[in-house]
Structure 1
Amino acid sequence: MDIENFKLSSKADFKSHQKTKEKLRRIKPKSLDLMFEKSHDKQFENIDCLTCANCCKTTSPIFIQTDIDRLSKLFRMKSSDFIETYLFRDDDGDYVLKNAPCPFLNSDNTCFVYEERPKACREYPHTNRKNMHGILNLTLQNTLVCPAVNEIFKDFAKEFRK
């Protein structure tokens, strides 16, 4: 995966994706969820996250308390020490990583804490879940991070042109 090329092309596609998002808002919730799920499955037949890991290199998941407790136990740390070492509260009051790339990302793009990774990492890029209407803004932003999400939006744009 050529991340630099992806960054340029995803920025170039963003205005088109904004228009696509507005069209997606008009679709009934259950139909929208099914559209995303189908396109998600199609994209992940072809895309291997280990060739990219751009999400791990550029963004932070939100860490909920159960994530913090689970990872603290893994590292044999107190939760407060784990927070002090790795996390801070963002403007929304959520715990996120202090630094990017993720400190748990190995050089081969695998995750050092994969079995214990945060819920947000398990669910990323959130394109195969229920209530996609509720996260369309986040999903639009993820077109700049995840090649699969970018391709999903391109597929939808093609569908709307038909």
Structure 2
Amino acid sequence: MLSDKLQLKKYKQFLQRADKNKVLKALPALHEEAFEKINCLDCAACCKNYSPRFKTPDIKRISKHLRQKESDFINTYLRLDEDGDYVVKSSPCPFLGADNYCSIYEMRPSDCERFPYTNEDVFIKRQNITLKNATFCPIVVHVLEKLV
């Protein structure tokens, strides 16, 4: 989404200097506005290129939904990443359909449900994640553009 290094630098400088309380106050409205203008189903770049973390409650819930043993679910779909987190083995996500719909949407991992974090403190507290997400998520770019 965002290939312009200057834009990314501008966002980084903004996030480093921003009044955190002011940003946190503005996020809910900007989040809503972005989701009204941008349809995730048109993009799905997050599901096509990245993986959420699958935490223990996610694994339990999804494997039960798929009627699989947790160990079978893990062996079939997941691997451990360099941080020791379970992530999908391959991209795009195996649960993403050709229509960009998620086949486990109601059971999806909490990381997926919360993504792109534009309505929570992760947006300002974990700036590296926000900047990475700005490279492919139009919603993050929209929110950052409105804040800058």
Q: 1:131 Cα shift?
A: 4.7
Aligned to 1:103: 94
Unaligned runs of 5+ in 2: none
Q: Distance in 1 between matches of 2:105 and 2:136?
A: 20
Aligned residues: 148
Q: Distance in 2 between matches of 1:130 and 1:19?
A: 20
Whether 1:60 and 2:51 are equivalent positions in the alignment is yes
Q: Distance in 1 between matches of 2:147 and 2:70?
A: 42
Match of 2:126 among 123, 132, 135: 135
Q: Distance in 1 between matches of 2:144 and 2:55?
A: 29
Q: 1:144 Cα shift?
A: 1.3
Q: Distance in 1 between matches of 2:124 and 2:25?
A: 12
CA RMSD of aligned residues (A): 1.5
Unaligned runs of 5+ in 1: 1-6, 158-162
CA-to-aligned-CA distance 1:33-65 (integer Å, 9 cap, x gap): 123333222111111111111111111001100
Match of 2:103 among 108, 112, 118: 112
Q: Which amino acid aligns with 2:3?
A: K
Q: Identity, % of aligned pairs?
A: 42
TM-score when normalising by structure 2: 0.92
TM-score when normalising by structure 1: 0.84
Q: Distance in 2 between matches of 1:117 and 1:103?
A: 12
